[in-house]
């Protein structure tokens, strides 16, 4: 179901928007609806990517290294040879 809204624009912006929409062969209403749809979709994709990234941070991949127990193990040169 479509619903009308009221939008207040400066006259020069409205004139430029009419010309732009005309060049694209659509109405200003169609132009605004298209742009708003794109913005909402972009936000949705961002939120999905954010959730995926946060999930990966919760369960990081193992890189195969061994954990460092204490400072002495970290600086043990003999173990590196």
What pLDDT shows up at residue 48? Answer: 98
- Note whether residue 32 is domain-resident: yes
Domain total in the chain: 1
Give DSSP secondary structure letters for 34-52.
HHHHHHHHHHHHHHHHHHH
DSSP H helical ranges for the chain? 11-24, 28-58, 71-74
Q: Is the model's pLDDT at 80 over the cut of 70?
A: no
pLDDT exceeds cutoff 70 at 81: no
Higher pLDDT pick, 62 / 17: 17
For 22-70, what is each residue's pLDDT tens digit?
999 999 999 999 999 999 999 999 999 999 999 999 987 878 777 767 7
**Number of alpha carbons in the 13 Å side-chain half-sphere of residue 70:** 1
Residue 64, domain member (yes or no): no
19, 31 Cβ separation under 8 angstroms:
no
Rounded to whole angstroms, the Cα distance separating 39 from 56 reads 26
Q: pTM for this one?
A: 0.64
Domain that holds residue 38: 27-58
């Amino acid at each position: 179901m479509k619903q009308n809204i009221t939008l207040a624009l400066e006259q020069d912006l409205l004139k430029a928007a009419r010309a732009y929409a005309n060049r694209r062969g659509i109405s200003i209403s169609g132009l605004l609806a298209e742009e708003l749809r794109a913005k909402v979709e972009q936000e949705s994709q961002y939120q999905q990517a954010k959730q995926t990234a946060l999930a990966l941070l919760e369960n990081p991949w193992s890189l195969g290294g061994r954990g460092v127990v204490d400072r002495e193990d970290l600086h043990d040169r003999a173990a590196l040879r």
